[in-house]
Amino acid sequence: MAVLIFLQLLIFLKKMIKDLIVEKKNHLGLITLNRPAALNSLNLDMIRRIHKTLEIWERDDTIFAVVIKGAGEKAFCAGGDILCLHESISNGFNQHMNFFKEEFLLDEYIYQFPKPYIAIMDGYVIGGGMGIVQGADFRIVTERSNLTMPETSIGYFPDVGASYFLSRCPGFIGSYLGVTGVTIKAEDALYAKLADWYLPANQLNFFLQGLGLLTSDSFGEKTISQLLTQLGGRKKAISPSLSKQRLLIDSIFSLSTVHDIAHSLKMMKNADHKKWAEDTLNIMSKHSPLSLVGALQTIHLGRGLSLQECFAMEIVLVERWIDVGDLLEGIRALIIDKDNSPQWKYRIDELTSSRLQALLPSIF
């Protein structure tokens, strides 16, 4: 029996090591998400080990900063492993709630981590991937970066603290991004305040090498900023596409209901904006109506809540969402069967105020 337990433990540890690489290089702690074939998506073991590692490094006087990155060039992190979540929910297990709770705890902890936390957001940064970077001191994007919170497309709502970080984007950009789930690139990420620095991808290894050479006397946020600048990094966005639609986004996505937003987009007469309005309306029409409403409302509420209050609101909503939302159907239609024909539970005109209060009492 002891031998069997030891072998099971060995297999478990090998899996953890394979999925996540943790290294110490001089005064630098380096965490690499190591599931490139799965776009470095997160599982519960990875979340637990990242959290534990950060807690250890917080108390380690030889570690002065932490870097988190993804293996490969395609993605930093494609979010949570939603197939595992689907299996847990479908079979009546509770693993999905363990995942959400521990993921949220990690994400919230990152905001409060006392040492410089550097996130290299190279490639796709999706959903849960945003959760482990938005609390970083240095959120670095490259020309390969693609950021998105696409939850409404799979019958869910933007979580991992999105009610906090999207609500703090300039104007109503966050509401637009959360409701539509559109993907933005590096310049728009800088403009939306979802990234801090742009660094060419071919300079990333030099940046890591430079960090590894810093001594305890020279390690600090000022020195890290100087290193980024020396390697061609910049903080200012250049010709972000979001700026071209900024007034339009603010005027439409400041409206209080999804119905009003859809109506405003439908009624767009201005020839310069009509194509954008039609495209935006088309995107929204494919997504779960309940998810659109949930996204808009949580981001709206997040404007008046603290970080802790946002995470508390989201975890309460998750537990309710599993029962009344469209998550299972969205994953089935887009990820499992890939028929791209989800049968959402509600139409937008069915989601009256009283119906929403009954379905989602925690946010209405």
Residues that are catalytic: 80, 128, 151, 159
> 3-state DSSP call for residue 361?
coil
Q: Tell me how far CA of residue 10 lies from CA of 6, 18, 34, 39, 100, in angstroms.
A: 6, 12, 18, 25, 26
The β-bridge relationship of strands 28-33 and 65-70 is: parallel
Backbone CA torsion sign across 283, 285, 286, 287:
positive
Q: Which of 188, 150, 129, 168 is nearest to 295 (CA)?
A: 150
Q: Which of 309, 284, 307, 308 is nearest to 295 (CA)?
A: 284
Q: Which of 122, 159, 114 is nearest to 139 (CA)?
A: 122
Measured in Å, how far apart are the chain's first and last C-alpha atoms?
A: 53
* 82-90 and 95-112 helices, crossing angle to 10°: 140
User: How many C-beta atoms lie closer than 10 Å to residue 202's C-beta?
Assistant: 11
Tokens of 275: 């194509």
Q: What is the largest CA-CA distance in the chain?
A: 74
Q: Where are the alpha helices (DSSP H) in the chain?
A: 2-19, 44-59, 82-90, 95-112, 128-131, 162-165, 173-180, 186-191, 204-213, 221-230, 241-244, 246-253, 258-266, 271-286, 289-302, 307-324, 327-331, 353-359
Dist CA 11 CA 6 (whole Å): 9
What is the distance, to the nearest Å, from the Cα of residue 198 to the centroid of all Cα atoms in its chain? 18
Which DSSP helix (H) or strand (E) runs through 67? strand 65-70
Dist CA 155 CA 170 (whole Å): 26
Dist CA 296 CA 156 (whole Å): 12
